[in-house]
C-alpha cells in the first residue's frame, strides 16, 4: 500500500498539484508575488476536472497539505512558545513543548487541508466548458471559505493585498470578492489550457480575456484610490518596545517595571513631537497596575504626559472575578473618567477553550479562558471631534470588527497586538496583510501598534505610508487622514454575506435540467 501511495505521489498530476500549492503560497506574504495567485489554482482545476470527483478529493487534499504547510507552518512554534511561557511558566521541557506545538500543528494541518479537498470535489464535479460550469467553479470556493470552520480567516484573495488597485473591490463587495476575482481568472485560464490542443485561437482569446479582466479590475481600483474622501489629519504616537515574552510573563525580571519603561518612552516621544494620541501595544501593563488604573497616583503618572494614551492590559477585571483582555483609554485630562474596551472576539485555544468541560475531563487543561467583552466602544481623540475605536490583536482581521466600528461612528481604528509569538515567521506579514484588507473593506484607516512589530499606519485605501519592522524597538508618530464623518456600510457589501450561498441556485438549475432531459428521453 505504501508503494502504491509513493507511486501516486510521483505521478504528474500529484506533482502538478504540489507545484500549484507552492505557487499559491508564494503569492501571499511575506513573499507576496501576487500575480501567482491567478495561476496557483490552475493545476488543481485542470487535474480535478480530468480525473473526476472521487480522485479530485484526494488531489485537493494533497494540494491543501502543501498550501497549509507553507502558509501556516508557524502554528507549531507559536503554540509551543505559548505553552512554555504562559501555561507552564517556563517549566516545560523541550520535548513537552515540541509535543504540544507539533501535535496541535499536525491536527491543524490535517484538518485544514480538508478545506482544499472540498475545492477539489467541486472542481471534479465538472467537465464541460460552459457558463453554468464557470458559475459553479467560482461560487463553491466562496461557500467553502465562508462555511469551513477556521481559526484564522486567511483567504485565497488576500494575496491581492500586495496590489492595492486590485484589492479595492473589497470596499464595495467585501473581502470575499477578491477570492471570487482570483477564481474567475483561474477558471478562464483553465479553460484556455484545456482548449489549447483544439484551437490556439480560443486559447489566445481566453488568455486575453483574463488579462483584460485584471487590467479593468485594477483600473477601477486605481480610480477609487485617487478619489477617496478623507477627514482631518491626525498625529498618532506609537511605542513599539520589543519587550521579550519572558519579561512580559514574569519569567525574567525586567531592568525596571514595564509601566515605567513605557512612560519614559512616551515622555521622550512627547518632547520630540506633538501628537493627538499615544498607543501602547497589547498586554504590556502588569496585572497589579491594570487593576489600579483609576487610582490617583497612577492617573498622575499619565497626566504628566499631556496626551491621551491607549494602554494594553492583558489581564484585567479581577475585581469582577473574571479576566479580560483589555485596552484602557487614559484621557489627557486628569479629571476625565477612565475608559476601556474589552476584547470581544477571543482567539480559540489561546484566549478561550472550546468544549472546555470535555477537554478538562480529558486532562487537557493547559489553556485558560478569558471573558469576552460586549459591544464596540468609540472614544474622543480630543481634536476636531474625531472619534476612534479599538480592536485587540485577532479582532483586527475580522469583518465584524470593521462593521461594528462603522456602526459606532469611528473615524479611526486603533489595533493593538502582540506578534512576538510568531517570531521571524510569515505570520506577522500575513496578519498585517489581512488588517490592510479590512481597512479597505471598512473604509476606516488603521493605526496598528505591536510590541515587536510590525507597527504601521494604514490608510483607507490600504496603503502603508509608515511602518516599523519586526524585532525593532522604537517610537514615533504616524500621520494619516481619518475617515469622513457619517461613513456607512455600502449596500453592495451584501455580496460578502450572500456569496457563500450562490452555489445553491447553480446546483438546483443543474438538477432541474438533468431531470428534464431524463423525462424527455
Q: Which of 33-42, 218-227, 264-273, 392-401 has the lowest mean pLDDT?
A: 264-273
Name the residue range of residue 345's domain.
233-483
| Claim to verify: residue 499 and residue 411 sit in the same structural domain | no
Given this model, what pLDDT does residue 359 score? 54
- Asked whether the beta carbons of 330 and 361 are under 8 A apart, the reply is no
Given this model, what pLDDT does residue 416 score? 92
| Claim to verify: residue 412 and residue 462 sit in the same structural domain | yes
- What is the percent of the chain with per-residue pLDDT over 90, rounded to a whole number? 25
Residue 213 lies in a domain: yes
Q: Return all residues near 203 (Cβ < 8 A) that are at least 6 apart.
A: 192, 193, 195, 196
CA contacts within 13 A on the Cβ side of 209: 15
| Claim to verify: residue 209 and residue 302 sit in the same structural domain | no
**Distance between CA atoms of residues 271 and 274, nearest Å:** 8
SS3 string, 356-386, reads: HHHHHHCCCCCCCCCCCCCCCCEEECCCCCC
The residues with which 324 forms a beta bridge, in sequence order, are: 316
Residue 489 lies in a domain: no
| Claim to verify: residue 466 and residue 504 sit in the same structural domain | no
pLDDT tens readout for residues 217-270: 999 999 999 988 888 889 998 889 888 877 777 777 777 777 777 877 878 877
How many domains does the chain divide into?
2
Count other C-beta atoms under 10 Å from residue 412's C-beta: 26
Residue 212 lies in a domain: yes
- Asked whether the beta carbons of 412 and 435 are under 8 A apart, the reply is no
Residue 256 lies in a domain: yes
Tell me the helix, strand and coil percentages in the chain, rounded to 5: 55, 15, 30
pLDDT tens readout for residues 159-190: 999 999 999 999 998 888 899 899 989 989 99
Given this model, what pLDDT does residue 147 score? 79
Cell numbers placing 148? 469551513
Reported confidence tier of residue 215, pLDDT bands at 50, 70, 90: very high
**Distance between CA atoms of residues 254 and 265, nearest Å:** 15
Which class for 97: exposed (0-12), middle (13-18), buried (19 or more C-beta within 10 A)?
Answer: buried
| Claim to verify: residue 219 and residue 248 sit in the same structural domain | no
**Distance between CA atoms of residues 300 and 451, nearest Å:** 24
How large is the average pLDDT for residues 202-209? 88
| Claim to verify: residue 214 and residue 241 sit in the same structural domain | no
Quickly list DSSP for 56-110: HHHHHHHHHHHHHHHHHTTHHHHHHHHIIIIISTT---HHHHHHHHHHHHHHHHH
Residue 488 lies in a domain: no
- What is the percent of the chain with per-residue pLDDT over 70, rounded to a whole number? 85
CATH number at 393 reads 3.60.110.10
Q: Return all residues near 454 (Cβ < 8 A) that are at least 6 apart.
A: 419, 428, 429, 432, 448, 467, 468, 469, 470
Please give the backbone phi and psi of residue 79, each rounded to the nearest 5 degrees, phi first: -65, -40
Where is pLDDT greater, at 15 or 320?
15
Residue 490 lies in a domain: no
Given this model, what pLDDT does residue 291 score? 65
- What's the predicted TM-score (pTM) here? 0.87
Residue 54 lies in a domain: yes
Under DSSP, the state recorded for 247 is H
| Claim to verify: residue 340 and residue 406 sit in the same structural domain | yes
Given this model, what pLDDT does residue 2 score? 44
Under DSSP, the state recorded for 452 is S
Tell me which residue has cell 462603522: 406
How large is the average pLDDT for residues 129-149? 74
| Claim to verify: residue 419 and residue 503 sit in the same structural domain | no
Where is pLDDT greater, at 74 or 338?
74
| Claim to verify: residue 193 and residue 281 sit in the same structural domain | no
Q: Which of 318-322, 399-403, 435-439, 487-491 has the lowest mean pLDDT?
A: 318-322
| Claim to verify: residue 208 and residue 237 sit in the same structural domain | no
Reported confidence tier of residue 273, pLDDT bands at 50, 70, 90: confident
**Distance between CA atoms of residues 150 and 443, nearest Å:** 25
Measure Cα distances from 457 to 124, 208, 287, 391, 435 in Å: 43, 37, 29, 15, 11
**Distance between CA atoms of residues 162 and 38, nearest Å:** 13
Residue 504 lies in a domain: yes
Radius of gyration from C-alpha coordinates of the chain:
25
Tell me which residue has cell 474589552: 342
| Claim to verify: residue 178 and residue 238 sit in the same structural domain | no
Given this model, what pLDDT does residue 5 score? 45
- Asked whether the beta carbons of 251 and 81 are under 8 A apart, the reply is no
| pLDDT beyond 60 at 348 | yes
**Distance between CA atoms of residues 347 and 345, nearest Å:** 7
Cell numbers placing 305? 504626559
Task: Give the range with max mean pLDDT: 260-269, 285-294, 495-504.
Answer: 260-269
| Claim to verify: residue 471 and residue 509 sit in the same structural domain | no
Amino acid at each position: 500500500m505504501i508503494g502504491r501511495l509513493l507511486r501516486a505521489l510521483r505521478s504528474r498530476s500529484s506533482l502538478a498539484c504540489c507545484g500549484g500549492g507552492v505557487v499559491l503560497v508564494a503569492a501571499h506574504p511575506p513573499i507576496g508575488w501576487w500575480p501567482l495567485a491567478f495561476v496557483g489554482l490552475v493545476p488543481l482545476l485542470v487535474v480535478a476536472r480530468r480525473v473526476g470527483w472521487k480522485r479530485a478529493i484526494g488531489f485537493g487534499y494533497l494540494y491543501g497539505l502543501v498550501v497549509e504547510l507553507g502558509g501556516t507552518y508557524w502554528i507549531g512554534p507559536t503554540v509551543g512558545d505559548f505553552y512554555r511561557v504562559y501555561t507552564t511558566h517556563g517549566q516545560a521541557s523541550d520535548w513537552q513543548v515540541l509535543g504540544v506545538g507539533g501535535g496541535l500543528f499536525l491536527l491543524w494541518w490535517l484538518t485544514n487541508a480538508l478545506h482544499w479537498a472540498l475545492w477539489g470535489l467541486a472542481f471534479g464535479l465538472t467537465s464541460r466548458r460552459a457558463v453554468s460550469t464557470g458559475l459553479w467553479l467560482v461560487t463553491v470556493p466562496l461557500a467553502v471559505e465562508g462555511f469551513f470552520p477556521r481559526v484564522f480567516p486567511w483567504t485565497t484573495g488576500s494575496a491581492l493585498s500586495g496590489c492595492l488597485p486590485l484589492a479595492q473591490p473589497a470596499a464595495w463587495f467585501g473581502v470575499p470578492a477578491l477570492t471570487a476575482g482570483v477564481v474567475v481568472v483561474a477558471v478562464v485560464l483553465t479553460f484556455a489550457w484545456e482548449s489549447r490542443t483544439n484551437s490556439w485561437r480560443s486559447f489566445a482569446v481566453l488568455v486575453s480575456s483574463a488579462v483584460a479582466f485584471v487590467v479593468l479590475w485594477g483600473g477601477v481600483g486605481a480610480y477609487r484610490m485617487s478619489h477617496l474622501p478623507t477627514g482631518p489629519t491626525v498625529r498618532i504616537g506609537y511605542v513599539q518596545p520589543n519587550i521579550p515574552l519572558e519579561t512580559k510573563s514574569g519569567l525574567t525580571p525586567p531592568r525596571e517595571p514595564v509601566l515605567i519603561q513605557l512612560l519614559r518612552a512616551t515622555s521622550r516621544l512627547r518632547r520630540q513631537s506633538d501628537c493627538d494620541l499615544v498607543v501602547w501595544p497589547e498586554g504590556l501593563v502588569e496585572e497589579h497596575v491594570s487593576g489600579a488604573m483609576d487610582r490617583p497616583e497612577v492617573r498622575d503618572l499619565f497626566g504628566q504626559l499631556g496626551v491621551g494614551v491607549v494602554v494594553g492590559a492583558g489581564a484585567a477585571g479581577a475585581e469582577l472575578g473574571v479576566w479580560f483582555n483589555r485596552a484602557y483609554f487614559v484621557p489627557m485630562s486628569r479629571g476625565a473618567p477612565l475608559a476601556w474596551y474589552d476584547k470581544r472576539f477571543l482567539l480559540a485555544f489561546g484566549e478561550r477553550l472550546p468544549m472546555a468541560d470535555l477537554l478538562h475531563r480529558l486532562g487537557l487543561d493547559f489553556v485558560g479562558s478569558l471573558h469576552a467583552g460586549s459591544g464596540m466602544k468609540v472614544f474622543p481623540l480630543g481634536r476636531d471631534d474625531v472619534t476612534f475605536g479599538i480592536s485587540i490583536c485577532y479582532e483586527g482581521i475580522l469583518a465584524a470588527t470593521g462593521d461594528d466600528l462603522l456602526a459606532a461612528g469611528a473615524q479611526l481604528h486603533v489595533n493593538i497586538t502582540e506578534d512576538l509569538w510568531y517570531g521571524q515567521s510569515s505570520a506577522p506579514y500575513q496578519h498585517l496583510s489581512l488588517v490592510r484588507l479590512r481597512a479597505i473593506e471598512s473604509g476606516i484607516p488603521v493605526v496598528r501598534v505591536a510590541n515587536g512589530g510590525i507597527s504601521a499606519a494604514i490608510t483607507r485605501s490600504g496603503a502603508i505610508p509608515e511602518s516599523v519592522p519586526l524585532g525593532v524597538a522604537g517610537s514615533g508618530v504616524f500621520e494619516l487622514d481619518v475617515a469622513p464623518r457619517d461613513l456607512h456600510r455600502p449596500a453592495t457589501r451584501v455580496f460578502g454575506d450572500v456569496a457563500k450561498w450562490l452555489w445553491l441556485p447553480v446546483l438546483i438549475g443543474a438538477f432541474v435540467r438533468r431531470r428534464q432531459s431524463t423525462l424527455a428521453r
